[in-house]
């Protein structure tokens, strides 16, 4: 108990120095947590992928579509429960900076949505389903008309919001915009027939997760040596393929996050070194009174850890509101932006590591100081 009191009194002896060090720790831990959350958000699509879903696309490129009649052949493969078509729309709502994912799909609901809203969507060929986050970002409400200017599919397309869906958990992407593939295809037939009856990807639901690789091979074998060969992979692998296109950026973000921790380690180490140098006389006096090196080391490590953990606690607490504010500013750029438990644990571990590492050399010096040399020292 006396040691704990001594630790906290020593930590507050130079209030300005301790306060500035803690402020640096708060900023560092906050920045580290925010950068780690950005990386997690980048991988959110892959982490939220269903294990019983496969994605079939053109083997050449995702930009090259597949014939719609492939759907029936895929359904015939043993182990396939359902097949749904989806096309990336890539339209512009009001302004090019208003980006959000838009997909033409076949009606199916895996989200939380009132039955009445889903029925209204299925009955209206121009109906659309929008995610809760997307609706909040742009103020969409049930019955609103949403005009979107097509890029891949030319013309202005007007949709009616018939439902707003929620996710099963915080990791569900609720920033997407879905409408009927049949409506897209029928309209394209009259406007640009060459783009009709083409599918961007087939979403395949399978019965047995353990047979995912086998079923993928069987699907691709159906179209071997055809004009449009396919590549089938798990939904997670499909999502990771997008992430890998920006992997260099993710590596840079991770490096910067750990660089921030290294910098604050240097600051913390300098603070503890100054503290130990000023107190050499005190350490020598304690040794003369019979206190051993272990007591001195415990006192120095305790002070360093107390400063580090207090600063990190404030940093961790601040991470949540700052992350919420950041997500609001980013709109739909990061559909899922949640501070994970792993990030909080990593922040705490970094704080302990910084506190312990910063105390190593000062504690070593205090333990090895001779009583005579310490009493001669001038702080």
pLDDT at 159: 93
pLDDT tens string 107-165:
766 678 888 998 999 899 899 999 888 898 889 999 999 999 988 888 889 999 999 99
Residue 49 forms part of a structural domain = no
Mean per-residue pLDDT for 183-199? 84
Q: Which residue, 30, 27, 28, 14, is CA-closest to 271?
A: 14
- Statement: residue 181 has pLDDT above 60: yes
Provide the residue count of the chain. Answer: 379
Higher pLDDT, 57 or 48: 57
- Specify whether 148 is located in the same domain as 221: yes
Residue 52 forms part of a structural domain = no
pTM of model > 0.95: no
Higher pLDDT, 7 or 307: 307
Residue 275 forms part of a structural domain = yes
- Specify whether 201 is located in the same domain as 99: yes
Mean per-residue pLDDT for 166-183? 83
Q: Which residues contact 361 (CB under 8 A, 6 or more apart)?
A: 269, 272, 273, 276
Tokens representing 95 are: 């302004």
User: Which of residues 177, 201, 228 is at a domain's end?
Assistant: 228
**What CA–CA distances, in Å, run from 36 to 24, 181, 257, 312?**
18, 37, 7, 15
Is beta strand 127-131 parallel, antiparallel or unpaired with respect to 102-105?
Answer: unpaired
Phi, psi of 161 (to 5 degrees): -70, 115
- Specify whether 206 is located in the same domain as 281: no
358 in Cβ contact with 271 (< 8 Å): yes
Burial class (CB in 10 A: 0-12, 13-18, 19+), 194: exposed
- Specify whether 72 is located in the same domain as 147: yes
- Specify whether 107 is located in the same domain as 26: no
pLDDT at 177: 92
Residue 286 DSSP class: H
337 in Cβ contact with 323 (< 8 Å): yes
Tell me the chain's radius of gyration from C-alpha atoms. Answer: 30
151 in Cβ contact with 90 (< 8 Å): yes
- Specify whether 223 is located in the same domain as 270: no
Three-state secondary-structure class, residue 8: helix
- Specify whether 166 is located in the same domain as 276: no
Helix or strand holding residue 282 (H, E): helix 280-288
- Specify whether 138 is located in the same domain as 25: no
pLDDT at 160: 93
- Statement: residue 218 has pLDDT above 70: yes
Residue 189 forms part of a structural domain = yes
Q: Which residue, 203, 229, 225, is CA-closest to 58?
A: 229
The owner of tokens 């909040």 is: 136
Q: Which residues contact 34 (CB under 8 A, 6 or more apart)?
A: 319, 322, 323, 326
Is beta strand 145-149 parallel, antiparallel or unpaired with respect to 156-165?
Answer: antiparallel
pLDDT tens string 225-252:
888 899 998 888 888 776 776 777 778 8
- What domain range includes position 164? 60-228
Residue 136 forms part of a structural domain = yes
User: Which of residues 228, 256, 278 is at a domain's end?
Assistant: 228
- Specify whether 82 is located in the same domain as 195: yes
Residue 314 forms part of a structural domain = yes
Identify any residues that bridge with 102 across adjacent strands, giving them in sequence order.
Answer: 177
247 in Cβ contact with 333 (< 8 Å): no
- Specify whether 306 is located in the same domain as 348: yes
Given pLDDT bands bounded at 50, 70 and 90, which one contains residue 374?
low
- Statement: residue 206 has pLDDT above 60: yes
User: Phi/psi class of residue 290: alpha, beta or left (left: φ > 0; alpha: ψ in -120 to 50)?
Assistant: left
Give the chain's domain count: 2
Residue 53 forms part of a structural domain = no
- Specify whether 69 is located in the same domain as 32: no
- Statement: residue 282 has pLDDT above 80: no
pLDDT at 263: 85
Residue 213 forms part of a structural domain = yes
- Specify whether 33 is located in the same domain as 67: no
């Amino acid at each position: 108990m006396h040691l704990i009191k001594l630790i906290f009194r020593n930590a507050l002896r130079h209030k300005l120095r301790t306060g500035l060090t803690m402020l640096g720790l708060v900023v560092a831990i906050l920045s580290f947590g925010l950068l780690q959350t950005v990386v997690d958000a980048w991988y959110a699509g892959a982490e939220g992928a269903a294990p019983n879903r496969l994605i079939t696309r053109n083997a050449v490129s995702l930009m090259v579509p597949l014939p719609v009649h492939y759907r029936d052949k895929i359904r015939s493969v043993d182990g396939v429960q359902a097949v749904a078509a989806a096309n990336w729309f890539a339209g512009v709502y009001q302004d090019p900076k208003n980006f959000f994912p838009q997909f033409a799909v076949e009606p199916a609901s895996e989200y939380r949505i009132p039955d009445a809203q889903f029925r209204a969507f299925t009955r209206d060929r121009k109906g659309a389903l929008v995610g809760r986050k997307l609706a909040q970002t742009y103020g969409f409400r049930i019955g609103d008309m949403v005009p979107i200017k097509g890029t891949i599919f030319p013309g202005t397309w007007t949709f009616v919001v018939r439902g707003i869906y929620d996710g099963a958990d915080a990791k569900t992407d609720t920033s997407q915009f879905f409408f009927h593939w049949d409506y897209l295809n029928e309209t394209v037939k009259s406007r640009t027939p060459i783009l009709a009856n083409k599918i961007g990807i087939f979403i395949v639901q399978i019965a047995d997760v353990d047979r995912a690789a086998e079923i993928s091979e069987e699907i691709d074998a159906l179209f071997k040596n055809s004009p449009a060969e396919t590549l089938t992979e798990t939904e997670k692998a499909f999502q990771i393929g997008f992430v890998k296109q920006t992997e260099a950026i993710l590596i840079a973000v991770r490096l910067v996050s750990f660089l921030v921790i290294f910098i604050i380690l240097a600051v913390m180490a300098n603070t503890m070194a100054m503290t130990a140098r000023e107190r050499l006389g005190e350490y020598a006096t304690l040794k003369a009174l019979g206190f051993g090196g272990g007591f001195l080391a415990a006192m120095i490590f305790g002070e360093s850890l107390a400063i580090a953990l207090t600063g990190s606690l404030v940093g961790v607490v601040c991470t949540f509101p700052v992350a919420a504010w950041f997500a609001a500013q980013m709109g739909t750029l990061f559909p899922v932006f949640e501070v994970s438990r792993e990030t909080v644990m990593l922040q705490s571990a970094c704080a302990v590591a910084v506190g312990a590492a910063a105390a190593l050399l000062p504690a070593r010096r205090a333990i090895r100081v001779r009583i005579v040399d310490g009493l001669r020292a001038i702080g």
